[in-house]
Structure 1
Amino acid sequence: MEEELIDGKVDWRGRTAVRHKHGGMKVSLLVLGTFAFENMATLSLAVNLVSYFIGVMHFDLAGAANMVTNFAGVSYLLSIVVAVIADTWIGRYKSVIISGFFEFLGLVFLTIQAHYPNLKPAICNPNDKNAACEKVKGSQEAFLFIGLYLLAFGSAGLKASLPSHGADQFDERNPKEAKQMSSFFNCLLLAVCVGGSVSLTFNVWIQDSKGWDWGFGISTIAIVFATIIFAFGLPLYRIHVAQRSNCLIEIFQVYIAAIRNRNLPHPADSEELYEIQQDKEAAMEMEFLPHRDIFSFLDKAAIQRKSDDAQPEKQQNPSPWKLCRVTQVENAKIILSMIPIFCCTVIMTLCLAQLQTFSVQQGFTMDTRIGKHFHIPPASLPIIPVGFLIIIIPFYDRICVPLLCKFTGIPTGVTHLQRIGVGLVLSCISMAIAAIVEVKRKNVARDNNMLDAIPGEQPLPLSIFWLSFQYFVFGIADMFTYVGLLEFFYSQAPKGLKSTSTCFLWSSMAIGYFLSSIMVQIVNRATKNHTASGGWLAGNNINRNHLNLFYLLLSLLSLINFCGYLVVSKRYKYRPQAPAVKVVDSQ
């Protein structure tokens, strides 16, 4: 029993993919497994690299935090480049394989540097004011940056291509598979959590106890497994055919054509706007969207000049920089509509960056004991929300979504934009909790005359689990906002920009990470004359800093950001849905 797909997806031999033979939820498990191993390789680095840069490479606290956020930001920005290449030229499958190789190569470089003493600065105690701790420089610094940014490029490619390749295994026009695709995006976060739970416990313990060479080595093995698991599914995948034309260029063409035609009058009937003849053959290869009365200034791009009517050659082969299809114009409208939503998610990543940097340093000053003998590494603290998400994601997907669906009539329970909004509110609450906890931590340090205590050697009489509250709330925010964004961007994007659209999330995160580095510097400069330490976040003594005020500032910014989001989300109009496909089995 087979039915051939007609949506431009093929098998590994280039033949039209078959519904019951290729793709589906079972095949997407290989993509989820790949994502789990990739996060097992990298999540521990995201939360613990700041310790590596301080303890091994001898950066100061602010410098180490900026190194991590810059690394993350570059990685997410590179995902856009890889996504465009995947959508336009090489396809998503090849993109994942090539990216896995580059990530493997970067981790090999970092493993070698962490193992050999002559490739890193001499060992010393950066907390000892009398010790001469030289920061990494010269060829050692070059080696570090090569490994770090090979890793960033590889990780960018996997993040760019894996989610969209996984979603390609489902047909949006088939109601059953459309629901499965929604579950896939929820399971994608579950895969991140499962791989992350191993990374935040086992990998972090290896890094802190056995050494960073062992830690990077474990990550290298994990990315090898990720690539092998993904490659194993080659005969089973529905593979998206890379578009011959560059959809991003088509979007630019709309703006250029609209500017050129700015003086032309709007036709009385939208049916007069330019569109190619929609025959059966074209419908199989091309996307057709109806005209919508939004951003009407872009409709100018689809207005035919009267001079062209008198010239049949120009009418048959119009310049795409002077005249665009209605569908092309509608795609440009969709991208323009998504930009305000995109902008409203940047602040949330700025908050996330602080949990991956400063909150880890808070943990080093606190009591990390569980019982009498076991100590939890500060970088492993996110295991609390991750563990909770492993439980709540299946509960949300299998119980909450069907329950909400009965009340709302929406297949996903709530709309994508409602889901994103819930996460933005929770991120605001998380930063407020972080500010309160930091006030308590500093009060304990002050009451016990430990403001100048060396982190890790003289822990405060305050359990590290106080930090779990902010991680817990932000973890739930992740489930709502980031998964909602992935699904929103994929479902709303033009046909030829699926990989690129999911990178809107990574781009938002990249800007958030870069903004974090800039904001730390701005805050320090703005407050340098008002604090003894030279700024709220200056120096290596976090007990003398004013991290609580910084967290409070982030909470207020998040609240303002959410208010702006309410305005833009209310005005957003979802793209027209393609007609449902009726499944007819042929024998």
Structure 2
Amino acid sequence: MDRGELIEGKVDWKGETAEKNKHGGTRASLFILGAFTFENMATMALAVNLVTYFIGVMHFDIAEAANQLTNYMGTSYILTILVAFLADTYVGRFKATLLATSVEFLGLGLLTLQAHYPKFKPPFCKVFDPTSHCIQVNGANAALLFVSLYLIALGSGGVKAALPSHGADQFDDKDPKEARQKSSFFNWLLLAVCIGGAISFTLIVWIQDHKGWDWGFFVSTIAMFFGIIIFAAGLPRYRIHVVKGSSALAEILQVLVAAIRNRKLQLPVDCNELFEIEKDKAAAMQFEFLPHTNDFRFLDRAAIHTSSQHNSPNPSPWKLCRVTQVENVKILLSMVPIFCCTIIMTLCLAQLQTFSVQQGVTMDKSITKHFQIPPASLPIIPVVFLVIIVPVYDKIFVPFARKFTGIPTGITYLHRVGIGLILSSISMAVAAIVEVKRKRVAKLSNMLDANPLFQPPLPISVFWLSIQYFIFGIADMFTYVGLLEFFYSQVPKDLKSISSCFLWSSMALGYFLSTVIVKIVNLATKDITRSGGWLAGNNINRGHLNLFYWLLSTLSLFNFCVYLLVSKRYKYRQDQSAESLSDNRVHEAGRLEP
């Protein structure tokens, strides 16, 4: 039987070397996209509607409910680091994804159980009734709530860590056609998020609000089950990355330790004297090579080859590192400022998932005389737009821009990120203006002191909030997909799962920062407001959410200015094979567009 072209470093489900004509490619990625669609369908309703669940069922106040949600979201994203490390080093990306989806399924099942049985939650009471004394969930019931949530957080984080990289593994970067398909895969990954989110924001949110939280969580559990089945069904077609059992993170630590140990050594004038393995064909099959650069010169000390090491056949990797190993650490360090500049954007996103939902609770939600849109379903507006615009962007804009720029992705990754960052600032400014209008209507309607849950809706349409969601949705398309591609393309090949964690970790820090900012703002303003702080209390009409939005818009604008400076200085990595790397490999790496 004729065998197709083999893919080095990738195997099929039997452990045999993967074949290009049988494994991977676009057809294999469809299973991954399908699974990601169902995973987002199962969980995205939680991101926008859990605040309502925390307030109405678990009896948290608005600020505490918002903080509980952002803590949950932040934990989900920060756990991607742990799962990505295990996926790259020991478990493998396919197994990590399968385990993560199973854990997420278990967490959703437990959450459904608690929502269904009254004995697992606090008794009903009117949360905003001043004569009521609502008791927050505590004891064993609180334990069940947080175990359920953080099992979902662990599973969701695992999927985000391993699944995008497993999807990218289905394409060969050395094949120009497959390299373009991989770029499209990241765009279609966003489309999968949008389709899953569209169903979650409408169907599942509607079920939660009208049929009960237990039914809503149950549908999410079933969606997660289908996601597991679809992902597992693609196993015969997958190219599975071979884990080596050694950690690329350990190699990073080796460079830092060796550089510190050799800090007193003099750097050679000729950088060709720095240590690198022989560039024969065998090495070309196993190692990547990077040219030397003059950035972060103190790290070059890790590659100084001393006379004693010349006499040692196997020098300690904690004392002597390859030039390529050092260059990989330099690339990671140069990515840190880009990473930091993306944190503020998630800080803004957190407010759209928390306070904006509570704004919508007070507004007129009517679409027709007999149908109202749930406030938590408002993100469907940018999602529907993205479902339309992502294919247009991928199939029309990218090929058109490619003709002028010569860049496979149309515009650079960092250009995409920058567009998203400035749009997030605009989104927060619009949110502030809309909140001023909403409060003016509340004042004219004599509802500033009315109970937000039991008052009639304000005579202002909830669709005013769609403007800020719409702008932020476009920002999502540019920034998050651009960051996924950017991080995946720049990190060492053994850290591909970790690459997606740069994005998710920045989002985690953004959510945690939201918790901190909310508390700081309330503390700083408690003596100058009647409600005890801009965001304190349960009456959003008496709060000063508009000022908080202006604060975030200003922070985002400042963050964008910083981003312009750091992105302009960033240099894209230059990969070279052992055969193409000349003996004179010492040169300054110029800016190489992706």
Normalised by the length of structure 2, the TM-score is 0.96
- 1:372 equivalent among 369, 374, 379: 369
Cα distance between partner residues in 2 of 1:60 and 1:236: 49
Three-state SS of the structure 2 residue aligned to 1:17 is: strand
1:118 offset after TM fit, Å? 0.4
What is the distance in 2 between the residues matched to 1:122 and 1:456? 18
Q: Is this contact kept in 1: 2:7–2:19, CA < 8 A?
A: no
Is 1:143 paired with 2:157? no
| Residue in structure 2 matched with residue 164 of structure 1 by the alignment | 165
- Counterpart of 2:334, as a letter, is S
Shift of the 577–305 alpha-carbon distance from structure 1 to 2, 3 Å rule, reads closer
Map of 1:545 onto structure 2: 543
1:381–1:500: structure 2 CA closer, same or farther, 3 Å change rule?
same
Alpha-carbon distance between aligned partners in 2 of 1:518 and 1:105, rounded to the nearest angstrom: 30
Q: What's the offset of the Cα at 1:3?
A: 4.1
Deviations 1:247-283 (A, max 9, x none): 1111011011111111212222222111112222222
Aligned with 1:526 (options 524, 527, 536): 524
Distance 2:386 2:301 in 1: 48
2:297 & 2:7 partners in 1: Cα distance?
A: 32
Structure 1: distance between partners of 2:162 and 2:321: 29
In the other structure, the counterpart of 2:269 is: 268
User: What amino acid sits opposite 1:432 in the alignment?
Assistant: A
Whole-angstrom CA distance in 1 between matches of 2:574 and 2:4: 25
Indicate whether 1:189 and 2:174 are aligned.
Answer: no
Hey, what's the Cα distance between the residues in 2 that align with 1:64 and 1:534? Answer: 17
Distance 1:87 1:29 in 2: 22
1:572 aligned partner: 570
Query: What is the alpha-carbon distance in structure 2 between the residues aligned to residue 254 and residue 574 of structure 1?
Result: 20
Q: Using a 3 Å threshold, how does the CA distance of structure 1 residues 486 and 118 change in structure 2: closer, same or farther?
A: same
Distance apart, 1:94 and its partner CA:
0.3
Residue 300 (1) aligns with residue 298 (2):
no
> Offset of 1:7 from its aligned partner?
3.6
Q: Distance in 1 between matches of 2:368 and 2:103?
A: 42
Kindly provide the amino acid, as one letter, of the partner of residue 573 in structure 1.
Answer: K
Q: For residue 77 of structure 2, what is the aligned residue in structure 1?
A: 76
Residue equivalent to 1:584: none
Correspondence for 1:356:
353
Letter paired with 2:376: A
Aligned twin of 2:435 = 438
Residues paired across the two proteins, number: 577
Q: Indicate if the aligned counterparts of 1:175 and 1:580 stay in contact, CA closer than 8 A.
A: no
Whole-angstrom CA distance in 2 between matches of 1:2 and 1:15: 12
Tell me, yes or no, if structure 1 residue 120 matches structure 2 residue 121.
yes
Q: CA deviation at 1:244?
A: 2.2
Q: Partner residue of 1:585?
A: none
Amino acid at match of 1:494: P
- AA at the equivalent of 2:543: N
Corresponding residue SS for 1:543: helix
Match of 2:488 among 477, 490, 496: 490
Q: Does residue 1:415 correspond to 2:438, yes or no?
A: no
Classify 1:214/1:529 alpha carbon distance in 2 versus 1 (closer, same or farther; 3 Å).
same
Shift of 1:245: 1.3
The alpha carbon displacement at 1:284 in A equals 1.4
Q: Secondary structure at the match of 1:321?
A: coil
State the alpha-carbon separation in 2 of the partners of residues 32 and 580 from structure 1: 35
Which sections of structure 2, spanning at least 5 residues, go unmatched? 580-594
Indicate if the aligned counterparts of 1:204 and 1:379 stay in contact, CA closer than 8 A.
Answer: yes
Tell me the residue number matched to 2:216.
215
The alpha carbon displacement at 1:117 in A equals 0.3
Give the match for residue 254 of structure 1: 255
Instruction: State the partner residue of 1:427.
Output: 424
Q: 1:381-460 residue pairs with structure 2 within 5 A? A: 381-457=378-454, 458-460=456-458
Query: Residue 2 of structure 1: CA displacement?
Result: 5.4
Report deviation, 1:456.
4.3
Q: Distance in 2 between matches of 1:439 and 1:359?
A: 13
The 1:368/1:41 distance shift into structure 2, 3 A limit, reads same
Match of 1:559 among 557, 560, 573: 557
- Is 532-541 or 11-20 further displaced after alignment? 11-20
- Partner Cα distance (2:59, 2:510) in 1: 25
Q: 3-state SS of the aligned residue for 1:370? A: strand
Equivalent residues of 2:413, 2:483 under 8 A apart: yes
Q: For 1:55 and 1:535, how far apart are their aligned partners in 2?
A: 22
CA deviation after TM superposition for structure 1 residue 455, in Å: 2.6
Aligned-pair identity (%): 68
* 1:230 matched residue in structure 2: 231
* SS of the residue 2:122 aligns to: coil
CA contact (8 A) 2:288 2:577 kept: no
Partners of 1:59 and 1:135 within 8 A in 2:
yes
Kept in 2, the 8 Å contact 1:173–1:578? The answer is: no
Match of 2:528, SS?
A: coil
2:37 maps to amino acid: A
2:497 to 478, 496, 499: 499
What is the CA–CA distance in structure 1 between the aligned matches of 2:302 and 2:5, rounded to whole Å? Answer: 36
2:386 alignment partner, SS class: helix
Partner of 2:60: 59
- 2:343 alignment partner, one of 322, 341, 346: 346
Residue 294 of structure 1 aligns to which amino acid in structure 2? D
Instruction: Please give the alpha-carbon distance, in whole angstroms, between the structure 1 residues aligned to 2:100 and 2:80.
Output: 10
Answer yes or no: is the 8 Å Cα contact 2:256–2:299 preserved in 1. Answer: yes
Aligned to 1:100: 101
SS in 2 for 1:9: strand
Compute the displacement of 1:325 (Å). Answer: 0.7
Greater shift, 265-274 or 482-491, is seen at 265-274
Q: List gaps (5 residues or longer) in structure 1.
A: 582-587
Match of 1:328 among 321, 325, 334: 325
- The answer for the alignment partner of 2:513 in structure 1 is 515
C-alpha distance in 1 between matches for 2:47 and 2:308: 59
Contact 1:173 1:579 in 2 (8 A): no
Q: What residue in structure 1 maps to residue 26 of structure 2?
A: 25
> 1:559: Cα distance to partner?
0.5
SS state at 1:244 partner: coil
Alignment TM-score, normalising by the size of structure 1: 0.97
AA partner of residue 87 (structure 1): D
Show the counterpart of 1:206: 207
**Residues 497-556 of structure 1, C-alpha deviations (whole Å, 9 max, x = no match):** 000111110000000000000000000000111111010000000000000000000000
Deviations 1:82-116 (A, max 9, x none): 00000000100000111111001101110000000
Whole-Å Cα distance in 1 between the matches of residues 446 and 122 of structure 2?
A: 33
Of 456-465 and 555-564, the range deviating more from structure 2: 456-465
Maintained 8 Å contact 1:71/1:149 = yes
User: 1:6: how far off?
Assistant: 4.3
Alignment deviations for residues 60-99 of structure 1 (CA, whole Å, 9 cap, x no partner) = 0000000000000001011110000000001000001111
Q: Is the 8 A contact 1:533 1:545 kept in 2?
A: yes
SS in 2 for 1:323: coil
2:473 counterpart residue number: 475
Q: Does 1:110 align with 2:108?
A: no
Provide the rounded CA distance (Å) in 1 between the counterparts of 2:340 and 2:250: 22
Query: Is this contact kept in 2: 1:6–1:284, CA < 8 A?
Result: no
What is the distance in 1 between the residues matched to 2:449 and 2:26? 55
Give the Cα separation in 2 of the matches to 1:437 and 1:578.
52
Per-residue deviation at 1:578?
4.6
C-alpha separation in 1, matches of 2:298 and 2:3: 46
CA distance in 1 between partners of 2:419 and 2:513 (Å) = 23
User: Which amino acid in 2 is paired with 1:84?
Assistant: F
Match of 2:590 in 1: none
Rounded Cα–Cα distance in structure 2 between residues aligned with 1:452 and 1:487: 49
